[in-house]
Copies of this chain bind each other. A is one copy, B any other.
Amino acid sequence: MSQPSRPFALAIDAMGGDAAPDVVIDGLELAAERHPDARFLLVGDEARVGGALARRKRAAKACSLRHAPDYIPGDMKPTAALRVRGSSMRVAIDAVAGGEASGIVSAGNTGALMALSKIVIKTMREIDRPALAAIGPSARGDVVLLDLGANVQCDARNLVEFAVMGDAFARAVLGLTNPSIGLLNVGSEELKGDDRVRAAAETLRDSHIGANFRGFVEGHDITAGTTDVIVTDGFTGNVALKTGEGALKLMRDLLRQVFTSSVPARLGYLLARPALDRLREWMDPRRYNGAILIGLNGVVVKSHGGTDALGFAHAVDVAMDMVTHGFNERIREGLTRLSTNGPRIAAESH
């Protein structure tokens, strides 16, 4: 146990997401079954949350309810959200900052969650900037991609720190003992790309994770699963994630058209359905729900706002993995080794 003194594993924003608080509480019902020893601090409007919670036995037992009179609407600007001191999101974040809980899961406003977390929970002393990470499917197992948009401009030092955080994340959440790491570039040759990625690659090669560093990878390596972790700046990572999702969505939409285009095609679908259902299940976005803001003094996981109970429970799983496997301690350790052994974090190469 990495945080033995905290009364709660996680603080949960009961009011975030399209169907809050019901989906959140149904998700916690599943999470409580998977993590029977965990205690959650559920934060939201007592009148609205209390009734729903009472109907869910396991969730009710695992949760302590804390009242928060307000909530952050999905379209509120982060600057405005900062002023709503009584929001469920804010009260939950305050509980993490105050040491009551090791992390927060929220399906609410992404911009607000990122801004509030950075300001209240704060960035770890050891790193320059936090990053947004996610797990996605590939031909060779799950892949961790970061940064997904927390930093639209990154220098070589940021990329190196993202690699160290991605390494710790893959160990804690994917359970890998030696995750391989790639740096996203426009080609795999050493001379490709700009000064920034070349400087980051040089530092990583000489670092304690150098043995697992596979050098440059390209866009197609994300879904090929060439490495377990793929590191890039927030601009490129955000575009890559959404482009990949868009391409998969296009294929799904086209297949739906194919299988409803004629009577034989419909019949064909019915025959192939068990196998197609396994594929659908394997790629189920709920299995990959949860964008993780890493590098703060606490675990912060953003669940998709439109997910269901299963998806929300998965986001809780990710946060629980990070808490119970001492994710932040792993990062601290990695960064300490980096600054001890790796002399050249080329922060000047922008």
Q: Chain A: residues with CB nearer than 8 A to chain B?
A: 137-139, 149, 152-153, 184, 186-187, 193-194, 218-224, 232, 234-236, 238-251, 253-255, 257-259, 261-262, 264-265, 267-276, 278-279, 282-283
Given A236-B239, A240-B239, A241-B219: A275 and B258 interface contact (C-beta under 8 Å): yes
Q: Apart from A219-B243, A258-B279, A262-B274, what 5 extra A-B contacts exist at CB < 8 Å?
A: A152-B194, A184-B239, A219-B239, A259-B272, A272-B272
Name A139's closest neighbour in chain B (CB-CB).
B250
A93 nearest CB across to chain B (Å): 22
Bound-complex Cα distance A282 to B265 (A)? 17
Q: A240-B239, A268-B270 are in contact. Are A246 and B232 (CB under 8 A)?
A: no
Listed from nearest, the 3 A-B pairs whose CB atoms lie closest are A219-B242, A268-B272, A268-B271
Chain B CB count within 10 A is highest, among A153, A221, A248, for A248
Q: Which residues of B contact A234 (CB under 8 A)?
A: 186
> Which B residues are in CB contact (< 8 Å) with A272?
258-259, 264-265, 268-269, 272
Instruction: Enumerate chain B residues within 8 angstroms of A137, measured Cβ to Cβ.
Output: 250
Q: Nearest CB to that of A248 among chain B residues? A: B247
Contact B261 A275 (CB under 8 A): yes
CA distance A251 to B279 in the complex (A): 9
Contact A238 B219, CB 8 Å, known A149-B186, A271-B265:
yes
For the complex, what is the distance from the CA of A261 to the CA of B275, rounded to whole Å?
7
Asked whether, in the complex, the Cβ of B235 is within 8 Å of the Cβ of A194, the reply is yes
Q: Which residues of B contact A242 (CB under 8 A)?
A: 218-220
A243:B271 contact, CB within 8 angstroms: no
One of B186, B244, B250, B283 near A238 (C-beta < 8 A) = B186
Cβ contact within 8 Å between A222 and B243: yes
Chain B residues with Cβ below 8 Å from A249 are 220, 223-224
